Structure formats: C-alpha cells, structure tokens
Amino acid sequence: MKSSFVSNLRFWVLSALFAALTAVGAQIRIPMVPIPITLQTLFVLLAGGFLGARWGAISQIFYLFLGLAGLPVFAGESGPMVLLSPTIGYLLAFPLAAFFCGSLIHGNLRKSTGSLILVYFLSAFIILGLGVVGLYVIQNLYLKTVFSIKELFFSGMIIFLPGELLKVVLAAMATQRIPVRQAWQSR
C-alpha cells in the first residue's frame, strides 16, 4: 500500500513537472500569425515518452487546466477565451499525443532510434492534424476569416514541420539516453 502511494505520488509530481516544462516551452516562441512556433510539443512528446500513456496524458491535462484557469502558461492568451483561439486544436491534442506516444513506447515497441522517431513523428502529427482542424473551425466558422485549404495547411502544419522534425529527433535521443521511467516506477 505504501509503495503504491509513493509511486503514485512520484508520478503526480513528475506530471506536474512536465506540465511546468510545457508551460516553459510555450514561453520560448517565435511569433507567427496565427500560430506561434514554440517548444511545447517537445515536452508533450517527452511527457509521453518518459511517463507513459496515462501519466503523460495527465501531465498535459494538468497543463490545460492551469491555462484554462487563467495562469499565463499558454503561448498566447490564457483563460476560458483560449477555447475560441486559433491554438485550441493544438492544445487539445496535447494529452492525446502524450497518450499515443506513451502507449507505443511503453508497449512492445522495440526502442530503436528509428522506431522512436516514427512514434514521436506520428504523435507530433496528431498535434498538427488536430491543430489544423481547430484552426479551420476558429478562423473560418467563428472569426469568419476565410482561410483557403492551401493557407490553412501552410500556416497550420507545413511551416511547423522542420521544427517538429528537430523536436522529434531530440525527443528520441533523450528517450534512448535517459531510461528514467523504469527507475521512477517501482511496480
């Protein structure tokens, strides 16, 4: 019983740490319109890679709650109004992407560099894909700013690909070099 409590407490603390790292990643940004380039996705990927599916997703849900509560943890505005911002699709994808990569990495995946890069790239693509959907809904339906499909994919996905590929490689290298989840988990 005590061992389980201590293990869960460790994961709650680590989840809070990854939520904080995601918040720091949001502040390291290159302003772009309508979506800034940030380091958030690197920490989303690492949360899933290091903490596993459940705790990685919890860390990102915690991050979202902090921002929705009004703490300045997002790259743009925080508080409930972020639900109507062009970044909402990306933000809502964070827990899904952390869960996805955590599920694969801590499942039966052979942890070669190539397989880790593939998992992290697919996870980043979840963020970009849902981000484009959210961008379309907010820009075209809510703000009534007509974005063509070409503009939508360029400003919502294509422009981010070089940076995402770099973050994917960094996450894969970190995951291979720091097998911390096994050390943190006593069960």
> What are 43-82's pLDDT values in tens digits?
999 999 999 999 999 999 999 999 999 999 999 889 999 9
**How confident is the prediction for the chain on average, in pLDDT?**
91
pTM: 0.91
What mean pLDDT do residues 114-132 have?
96
* CATH number, domain containing residue 164: 1.10.1760.20
d(C-alpha 101, C-alpha 122), whole Å? 8
pLDDT tens-digit map of 170-185: 999 999 888 654 444 4
pLDDT band at 32 (very low <50, low <70, confident <90, very high): confident
pLDDT band at 111 (very low <50, low <70, confident <90, very high): confident
The answer to whether the beta carbons of residues 19 and 74 sit under 8 Å apart is no
Determine the structural domain holding residue 135 and report its residue range. 2-184
- If one counts the domains in the chain, the total is 1
Name every residue whose Cβ is closer than 8 Å to that of residue 181 and which is 6 or more positions away in sequence: 50, 51, 52, 106
pLDDT band at 147 (very low <50, low <70, confident <90, very high): confident
**pLDDT surpasses 50 at 115:** yes
